[in-house]
Amino acid sequence: MQSASGDYRKYLDPSIISKLNSLELRARLVVEGFMVGLHKSPYHGFSVEFTEHRPYMQGDSIKDIDWKVYGKTEKFFIKQYEEETNLKSYILLDTSKSMGYSSEKNISKLEYAITLAAALSYLMNKQQDAVGLTLYSESIDKYFPPKANRAYLQEILKALTSISPANKTNTANSLNSIAEKIKRRGLVVIISDFFDDINSILKALKHFRYQRNEVIVFQILDPLERNFAFGSDAVFKDMESEDEMTTQPYQIQKAYRDAIENFLGKIKSECLNSKIDYNLIETSMPFDKALFGYIQKRSKLI
């Protein structure tokens, strides 16, 4: 695709890609822009059709080397068989009201999360992995078990297109309910701001690990939710309880920043201790950071 190869970075920019009405087109352009970027990056070992290849290892048969790939990369890759690559992936998306927040010039957390979920679904389907989707807030709102076919991808994209933020958050309860639905081990991808009781969330995340699933977490935040760089007097409204508070942000900025960094640090450290891949994503960030986090995880599982 000429435009993607000519200026691939723009398709990874949330403010640009969000202007497209078609979620399928957004997902495709994000993935294509990401793949072009991998070819241009120092990590181009991933840039070959990583969905179908793995690096050559000692003991592999020379006859299985893909020489066309070698001609492009000067690296040895083995063509994999379908049974080696197939994986069940479960995308879990928080659609609660707090995900609807956006600051000036940024898309909302939910808009970002929807595009990320769509791009991951598109990419997983391209890999011939079985992909499923769960939408949750106070409880499970929709559940699509993993399947690996093109028509099913359209169902997932349709469900993602119809989302609007609603209800309070009960992440821990929802995650525990989803964990009980997963009967075959796979890759669990959780996309949320995780604005809920932290200890309950961490316990729920570990539930997936107890069942020997691989887990990757994307914590989505608006930049202002980290730096609290608001102006003078402001009225803050809880998007779920609708409680309001008037304050001067600069007076509490340091205390807020300390509290949020402690909150984020605890989630990150507990995830790492439980061998859960943790990714903190701000809505101003290009999508390639999240997608690269995913393929790093995926490459370890094949």
Give the model's pLDDT for residue 1.
42
| pLDDT of 61 strictly over 80 | no
Segment holding 256, helix H or strand E: helix 249-273
CATH 3.40.50.410, the chain: domain bounds: 86-299
CB 88 within 8 A of CB 129: yes
Could you tell me how many residues make up the chain?
Answer: 302
Give the model's pLDDT for residue 74.
77
Q: Could you give the 3-state DSSP secondary structure of residue 42?
A: coil
Q: Which of 14-18, 46-50, 266-270 has the lowest mean pLDDT?
A: 46-50
Average pLDDT, the chain: 84
CB 48 within 8 A of CB 77: yes
Beta strands in the chain (DSSP E): 53-55, 77-79, 88-94, 130-136, 140-147, 187-192, 214-221, 234-237, 244-247, 277-282
**283 compared with 105, residue with greater pLDDT:** 283
For residue 206, list its beta bridge partners. Answer: none
Q: Average pLDDT, stretch 45-68?
A: 63
Q: Could you give the 3-state DSSP secondary structure of residue 53?
A: strand
Is the CATH number of domain 86-299 3.90.1150.10?
no
| pLDDT of 180 strictly over 90 | yes
